[in-house]
A and B are shown apart, each in its own frame.
Chain A
Amino acid sequence: KAGVTQTPRYLIKTRGQQVTLSCSPISGHRSVSWYQQTPGQGLQFLFEYFSETQRNKGNFPGRFSGRQFSNSRSEMNVSTLELGDSALYLCASRPDRVDEAFFGQGTRLTVV
Chain B
Amino acid sequence: DQQVKQNSPSLSVQEGRISILNCDYTNSMFDYFLWYKKYPAEGPTFLISISSIKDKNEDGRFTVFLNKSAKHLSLHIVPSQPGDSAVYFCAASEGGGSNYKLTFGKGTLLTVNP
Chain A residues in the interface with B (C-beta under 8 A): 4, 6, 31, 33, 35, 42-45, 48, 50, 55-56, 58, 88, 90, 92, 94, 97-106, 108
For A104, list chain B residues within 8 Å (CB).
43
Q: Is the interface of B mostly helix, strand, loop or mixed?
A: loop
Give 5 A-B pairs besides A45-B102, A48-B101, A55-B98 with Cβ atoms closer than 8 angstroms: A35-B102, A43-B102, A48-B100, A90-B43, A106-B42
Among all A-B residue pairs, the 3 with the closest Cβ atoms: A103-B43, A43-B104, A45-B101
Residues of chain B at the chain A interface (Cβ within 8 Å) = 32, 34, 36, 41-46, 49, 89, 91, 93, 95-96, 98-107
Min C-beta distance of A109 to chain B, whole Å: 13
**Assembly CA distance A88 to B104 (angstroms):** 15
Q: Are the C-beta atoms of B96 and A103 separated by less than 8 Å?
A: no
Q: Which residues of B contact A56 (CB under 8 A)?
A: 98-101
Give every chain B residue within 8 A of A90 (Cβ-Cβ).
43-44
Inter-chain CA distance A104–B11, complex, in Å, is 26
Q: Count the A-B residue pairs with Cβ separation under 8 angstroms: how many?
A: 67
Closest CB in chain B relative to A10 CB, distance in Å? 9
Q: Are A33 and B104 in contact (CB under 8 A)?
A: no
Contact between chains at B101 and A58 (CB < 8 Å): yes
Q: Is the CB of B105 within 8 A of A99?
A: no
A101 and B99 form a contact (CB under 8 A):
no
Distance of B89 from chain A, by nearest CB (Å): 7
Chain A residues near B102 (CB, 8 Å)?
33, 35, 43, 45, 92, 99, 101
Q: How far is the CA of A50 from the CA of B99 in the complex (A)?
A: 11
Least distance between B33 CB and chain A CB atoms (Å)? 9
Measured between C-beta atoms, what is the minimum distance from B107 to chain A in Å? Answer: 7
Contacts of B105 in A (CB 8 A): 42
List residues of chain A with CB within 8 A of the CB of B100: 31, 33, 48, 55-56, 99
Tell me whether A42 and B42 are in contact (CB under 8 A).
Answer: no
